Amino acid sequence: KKLSEIGRELIQKHLLKEIPNEDDYRKIGNFKGEGNNVVKKLKLKTDKNKKILEHKLFINKTQYFETITEEIFNFQIGGYPVLERYFKDRKDRPLENKEIVNLEKTIKVLAFTIKQMDLIDNLTNDWI
């Protein structure tokens, strides 16, 4: 029963019908910085001087999505890294506002999915 609840919740999130809103997800994936929104070169930067590691996924020199861990950045579906693939298709062109909003939601859902996968593993550890 618990697995089916998790599955239903994952489906709703993957369809972007529900977006994780808990405190854990509020800072994940928000778009920051001034610029023209043009995707140039993806670069995942980590600020190690702070007590809490701050991961930023830059799309150009001044604009980034905040709190993107390596696990989120490298997350694959069907053998493809989701974020890398998305940005590769948009290289050298500006992201529209609706794309930015969609990406922010998608990044939050990826973080949620990773957390749910761990929960599923723990629930099924004894019998799979």
**pLDDT averages per 10-residue partition of the chain, 128 residues:** 91 91 87 97 79 80 93 93 94 96 95 93 82
| Confidence at residue 122, expressed as pLDDT on a 0 to 100 scale | 87
Give the pLDDT score at 52.
Answer: 57
Q: How far apart are CA 111 and CA 69, in angstroms?
A: 9
To which H or E segment does residue 128 belong? none
pLDDT for residue 89: 93
Residue 125, pLDDT score: 84
What is d(CA 65, CA 13) in angstroms, rounded to the nearest whole number?
Answer: 20
pLDDT at 49: 67
Indicate the pTM of the whole model: 0.86
| Residue 27, burial from CB neighbour count under 10 angstroms (0-12, 13-18, 19+) | exposed
Residue 38 β-bridge partners: 94
| pLDDT computed for residue 123 by the predictor | 86
Separation between Cα atoms, residue 51 and residue 57, nearest integer Å: 19
SS3 127: coil
DSSP output for 23-91: GGGSSTT-EE--S--BB---EEEEETTSSS-EEEEESSSS-EEES--HHHHT-EETTEEHHHHHHHTTB
Alpha-carbon 5 to chain mean position: 22
